[in-house]
Amino acid sequence: MEIIVKILNEQGLHARPASIFVKTANKFKSTISILHGDEVANAKSIINIMSLGLSKNEEIKRIRKYYVRKRNERSRHCEHTYFT
């Protein structure tokens, strides 16, 4: 699942809003990445988010990868299917 987000904060995505963003991302089991130009950052890492240096009016793309567990009746193992 992809979402494009525009940074509206006057100071950009500095430490305080970045920490709130990371705390929210860490509530999910899925893998969440942020794309900014050619750079990709792990949304669950404040260091990765801060390294992007996001300023006001810049756009980022949030990508969330999650999986659905399917049960195989014969072997009783779970198969993970990944979605983007």
Catalytic residues: 14
Q: Considering only CA atoms, which of 62, 65, 7 is closest in space to residue 40?
A: 62
Q: How far is CA 79 from CA 66, 71, 72, 76, in A?
A: 13, 7, 7, 10
Contact 65, 30 (CB under 8 A): yes
